[in-house]
Chain A
Amino acid sequence: MNRQAMILSMRCLLLTVMAACGAAQNSGAATAGGYVGSNACKTCHADIWLNFYKNPHFKSVASGDLPPSRAGCESCHGPGGAHLAAHGGKATIPNAFSAMPQAKALEVCLTCHARDFQKANIRRSEHTLAGVACTSCHSIHHAPTSKFLLAKKQTELCYGCHAGIRAQFEMPSKHRVNEGFMECSDCHNPHGAFAPTWRMSDHPRMVDQALNDEEPCLKCHVDKRGPFVYEHPPVRVEGCEVCHFPHASTNERLLRRPVVFTLCLGCHNGGASGTRNNGVPIQTSQHNLLDPRYQRCTTCHVRIHGSNVDETFLR
């Protein structure tokens, strides 16, 4: 360990000296607007510059044809002339993210990223309304992986605020998020999503759509997508969560109830709801609920998500 640390220290020291030499040549070369270029920054911030070539933002430096206002350090932090003249200090950095209000940090990032399709709805996302800004989740200079520059593994980031959701994924029946098979962003867009095409199009605002315009569940569970000649209307109209918990459940198959007939009878009670205006049909008189055969609805109604050949989903 000591030998490794020494080698690393020597490398950093050498880089610092070289950068200092370069900065000495550039220090008086502030351009219009106070931009000095990234070469000046790495004089003192060698620790950041050392691995910056692994950062996606390094593309702006590598391109070589962008002005300082759109390349490297100053494209995010603003012109560094004053900071250089003052020989450092956070107060002289126009955009010092650790000291900025989150709303301002969002605006700086959106200078370039507003046009990303995945961020098209960020202005109305629940994260933005709740004051969650880019730097709440992304670490530009200390991200463990350069892909998306997340400050931590994605699930751990989300659990940091959503402890109740974390508890759900530790239930016995769950989507395999903790196991690494899935990630939150498989279903959610943390930057905001288009209005849902299910339920009444009101909420949620951060559930992404799959296959252009469908509920994300159908991205994996394509066999439930149809189209079916006989659709089970709640599936198509209200979405999967009318019967299932989307994250996890103590009930098998993520169902909202441990015993399926209580779920089915919740709607099939002849009340004034349903597509007929006169109630969702109740069971026939031959279905004696005291007979165990009729307590397990899906034993016979096997195609409960939709069928092409039977309007009662028997096959």
Chain B
Amino acid sequence: MTNIFKGCCLILAAFGALRAQQVIAPTDEGVGIARGENFANYNIVDSFELGYRWRMAGGSVDTYRSDANYGDGIRLLGSNLSINSKDGHGRWFDEILLSTSGLGNDPYQNASLRIQKNGLYRYDMLWREDDYYNPGLLISGGEHRMDTVRGLQDHSLTLFPQSHFQVEMGYSRNTETGPALSTVQGFDTLSSAFPVFENVKQQWNEYRIGVLADWGGFRFIARRTWDFYKDDSGYSFTGNETSGVATDATVLQQFQRSEPNHGSNPGWFGNLYGSRKHWALNARLTYNLGNGGFAMNELTTGLDRFGAADNRQIVVNGDAQRPVVAGDFSLSLFPTSRLTIVNNTAVHDSRIDGDSYFTEFDNGTGAATTLNFKFLGVRTVANSTDLNYRFSDWFSAYAGFTDSGRQIRFLEAFSIPSAAGSAVSDLYQQESHLNAGTVGVRFRPLQPLTINLEGEVGHADHPLTPMSDRNYHTLGGRIQYRKSKLQLSTGYRELYIENAPLSLTTYSSRSRQYNAAASFALRDWLTFDASYSKLHLDTVGGLAFFAGVQSPQLQTSYDSIYISNIHAANAGLRFGIRSRADLYLGYTITKDTGDGRASAAPAGVADPIATLLDSVQTFPLTYQSPMARLSIRITPKVRWNAGWQFYGYGELFHLLGYDQNFHAHTGYTSVLWSF
């Protein structure tokens, strides 16, 4: 029996070895011993880890907060509770599972709960809260900041979960609240943008009820859902702010916007499943009627681009609808025990329309009224067939073919007679067909060794965007060796989208991924794992834009090039010290070497447009994070833990002049009680 116990410890240690490096806390619970106390007819296992977390950050703390975001303070770093009925016949419940992480002000907090009684009910709850910080970095000129809290929760109750007739009920909620900065243009589309305060208040609630029934060898599921969305974010600005641009005399003096947007999405969901010895079918149908009602009142006062006093009021109200139907029908055939054929047909249809009454007042002259209306309809029908054949226990192969057709209809600037100056209707229609074929083989020459090779080639005749798949292929392979104490794997995958010859209408992208990983449990007290990946991406596309030193001219002779070569590695080493202590050392690094250049724009380029485009072609950086964690057994039920983790982020070129580099030390100390 002692061997069994040792074996269990070894398994736990091996699991520990294979753990990916996580953030520094909570402490890995695998270091404990088998636990549990009996109470009445239940077995109870409990643990919780209480500690203090600290950080010291330098450089761009904003960037640190948008990345790791751990702060100082006392935390319930983690907890786990399980209560199980020993005979499966508890009075009120047979199982309770509760786990939490980061409670007490970590930026990422979550809790999950399951309570169930066999045959009678099952309740699942998931709660999460994310402290979302976005410092508004270079993509918006540093002007879009957010410091919000996003809360997510989901409750699901199933009645009679093991019977042929089940009832499901659920409720989900998603909220985001907090301060933010957005931007608004002054008085016309050519003026500068000014930051305005935004009070984010978004809320989404979903209610659902459904039934599941088994009858005649088939399973039916029907579910009704209602979800409601509210965005009552408000925008305001008070003061005098100039554009800071010599050619733009705009001064924003006052800005106020109210923009309530309330919507609902009542929907239906149905599923049918049935199977026999030689076939199985699976069908799904969903319908969602999305709609939203909105109104906006925006008032701006100040000086316009030419320095004249101006004020503007924009009033908009209307609604938007989006009925969506999606259906799938899948038929599986098993003519022999070695062959599986699956044919799947999928249909998706959505229509987006709405009416929007747009009124823009110049309060001085009472000018301009425009009414616009848009329609976007998307219908896709796809059919795919897969064959999967097992030639022997060690060799099998599969192949598949997909045919997909999509129609997009787009209506712009719908004319309303009552709106003077509105444009005539423009209806566009685009159809695209995609054909793709897949083939793959699997080898298992030895029980622990598996080899997979696969490839796919596809063509779409009219993709929506230049970046979409037009002519593409993928190649991939993976070799994996898995034993209880040793795991080795390596893989390769490439995706080429070749839309050559290069022109304005084409775009080419080549991505290649190489990876290798190893995990090794050398002893029950020494384990090691490491992995390395290289992610290569290069793209080139045609550009058309206006630019010029004196006056902007249409430029079509430049290309958009982007090259990324990311090397990512991590390693972890775990020591068990005489069953008394557990030490983990880990290191991760992500390094984008770009295309190897030493400066953002090559020296000697006189053309300012070429200089600008050269400077955004590659983005070398280094991001690394070493960590150490020590856990010492004080008593069989109490452990003391401490850890340290460093984050170092360094960009080489400081794109667009922003310095976002940071370094931060974080750590924690805690006590883990286990019962």
Q: Which of A108-148 contact B (CB under 8 A)?
A: 114-115, 117, 120-121, 123-124, 128-131, 142, 144-147
A115-B219, A290-B612, A299-B143 known; A226 vs B320 contact (CB < 8 Å): yes
A144-B30, A265-B543 known; A257 vs B616 contact (CB < 8 Å): yes
- Interface contact A308-B261, CB-CB below 8 Å: yes
- Interface contact B396-A131, CB-CB below 8 Å: yes
Closest Cβ–Cβ distance, residue A112 to chain B (whole Å): 11
Which one of A24-32, A74-82, A85-93, A193-201 is at the interface? A193-201
A228-B320, A237-B378 known; A161 vs B544 contact (CB < 8 Å): no
Residues of B within 8 A of A170 (CB): 21, 568, 570, 588, 590, 623, 625
Residues of A within 8 A of B480 (CB): 161
Given the complex of chains A and B, what is the CA–CA distance between A172 and B176 in angstroms? Answer: 23
- Interface contact B67-A172, CB-CB below 8 Å: yes
Q: Mark A228-241, 1 if CB is under 8 A from B, else 0.
A: 11110110111000
- Interface contact A252-B139, CB-CB below 8 Å: yes
Of A114, A166, A171, which is within 8 A of B623 by CB? Answer: A171
Given the complex of chains A and B, what is the CA–CA distance between A286 and B487 in angstroms? Answer: 59
Given the complex of chains A and B, what is the CA–CA distance between A238 and B202 in angstroms? Answer: 25
Q: Mark A280-298, 1 if CB is under 8 A from B, else 0.
A: 1011111111101101101
Chain B interface size, under 10 / 10 to 19 / 20 to 34 / 35 or more: 35 or more
Q: Which of B598-614 contact A (CB under 8 A)?
A: 608-609, 612
- Interface contact A12-B4, CB-CB below 8 Å: yes
Given the complex of chains A and B, what is the CA–CA distance between A193 and B95 in angstroms? Answer: 29
Of A173, A203, A271, A290, which is within 8 A of B547 by CB? Answer: A290
- Interface contact B621-A250, CB-CB below 8 Å: yes
Residues of A within 8 A of B562 (CB): 257, 262
- Interface contact B265-A211, CB-CB below 8 Å: yes
- Interface contact A1-B1, CB-CB below 8 Å: no
B57 within 8 A of A: no
- Interface contact B174-A222, CB-CB below 8 Å: yes
Q: Which of B41-81 contact A (CB under 8 A)?
A: 43, 63, 66-67
Q: Output the nearest chain A residue to B451 by Cβ-Cβ distance.
A: A131
Q: Mark B121-144, 1 if CB is under 8 A from A, else 0.
A: 000000010100010011111011
Residues of B within 8 A of A214 (CB): 288, 324
B189 within 8 A of A: yes
Residues of B within 8 A of A258 (CB): 138, 616, 619, 655
- Interface contact A5-B436, CB-CB below 8 Å: no
- Interface contact B531-A167, CB-CB below 8 Å: yes
- Interface contact A213-B324, CB-CB below 8 Å: yes
Residues of B within 8 A of A220 (CB): 150, 152, 174
Residues of A within 8 A of B225 (CB): 211-212
Residue from B219, B373, B380, B548 with most neighbouring chain A CB atoms (10 Å): B380
Q: Output the nearest chain B residue to A260 by Cβ-Cβ distance.
A: B139
Given the complex of chains A and B, what is the CA–CA distance between A255 and B641 in angstroms? Answer: 37
Closest Cβ–Cβ distance, residue B638 to chain A (whole Å): 13
Q: Mark B141-177, 1 if CB is under 8 A from A, else 0.
A: 1011000001010000000001000000000001010
- Interface contact A283-B432, CB-CB below 8 Å: no
Residues of A within 8 A of B576 (CB): none
A201-B346, A228-B352 known; A180 vs B102 contact (CB < 8 Å): yes
Residues of A within 8 A of B517 (CB): 160, 163
- Interface contact A167-B590, CB-CB below 8 Å: yes
- Interface contact B543-A269, CB-CB below 8 Å: yes
Given the complex of chains A and B, what is the CA–CA distance between A160 and B85 in angstroms? Answer: 33
Residues of B within 8 A of A230 (CB): 356, 372, 374
A274 within 8 A of B: yes
Of A123, A152, A172, A237, which is within 8 A of B342 by CB? Answer: A123
Given the complex of chains A and B, what is the CA–CA distance between A172 and B426 in angstroms? Answer: 44
Residues of B within 8 A of A311 (CB): 372, 374, 412
Residues of A within 8 A of B273 (CB): 114-115, 117, 120
Of A58, A124, A273, A312, which is within 8 A of B468 by CB? Answer: A273
Further contacts, 20 of them, CB under 8 A, given A131-B452, A229-B353 = A1-B636, A58-B88, A62-B94, A129-B398, A152-B18, A202-B384, A227-B354, A229-B354, A242-B465, A253-B139, A258-B619, A265-B560, A269-B543, A277-B430, A283-B545, A292-B656, A293-B245, A299-B141, A308-B261, A311-B412
Interface residues of A (CB under 8 A from B): 1, 4-5, 8-9, 12-13, 47, 53-54, 58-59, 61-63, 101, 103, 114-115, 117, 120-121, 123-124, 128-131, 142, 144-147, 151-153, 155-156, 159-161, 163-164, 166-168, 170-173, 176, 178-181, 194-195, 197, 199-203, 211-214, 219-220, 222-223, 225-231, 233-234, 236-238, 242, 250-253, 255, 257-262, 265-277, 279-280, 282-290, 292-293, 295-296, 298-300, 302, 308-312, 314-315
